[in-house]
Amino acid sequence: MTGGETPEAVGPVSRPARYFEQPFWTVLGLVVVCIGPVILLAVVGGYVPDDDRTAVLVTGLVLTPLTVVVLVLAIVGTARERRVWRDLDTAGVRVMGTVTSAERVWCGEDDRCTRVRMLVTVPGRPPFTTTHLVPGEKIVEVGTSIPVDVHPTRDLFRLADNPSR
């Protein structure tokens, strides 16, 4: 980065879609996570023929740790996300970000969004830029001010209001 550029922000931007707001990935994740324990239950319940019992038991024992790892990662990730947003709720400062560019883009098969680049100035910290996809048909104009919650000492921020409303 050269001396005159504004750094691009890192960290959480706006609340991502929750896991259960994405039905396809939720179902796929539940199937993958449950395969090992279901296989073990099938072996214990007697649903597996005796000829295949050993192979199916080993498969269940290998896949069950995957269930534990995925569940631990989900719990730790959820706890971290809640802690980050709680930090912003308690110590966040509301500032206004200024839209420096706005471009209409496709964000799905039939959906249009606006990709906005914003300059956010925080008191006592260097300004930073960030990019967001704003869903909806409303066009966000360059120069529009959008409220942003920013942590005063950490690199945490989120849009306080959806500009498409």
pLDDT of residue 43: 93
The answer, yes or no, to whether residue 39 has pLDDT greater than 90, is yes
What one-letter code names the amino acid at 103? Answer: E
- pLDDT score, position 153: 77
* pLDDT, the chain, mean: 80
Confidence grade of residue 11 (pLDDT, cut at 50, 70, 90): very low
CA atoms of 165 and 159, how far apart (whole Å): 13
> Residues 14-29: pLDDT tens digits?
455 555 556 777 778 7
Burial of 89 (0-12, 13-18, 19+ CB in 10 A): exposed
Count of other CB atoms within 10 angstroms of residue 155: 13
Strand, coil or helix: 13: coil
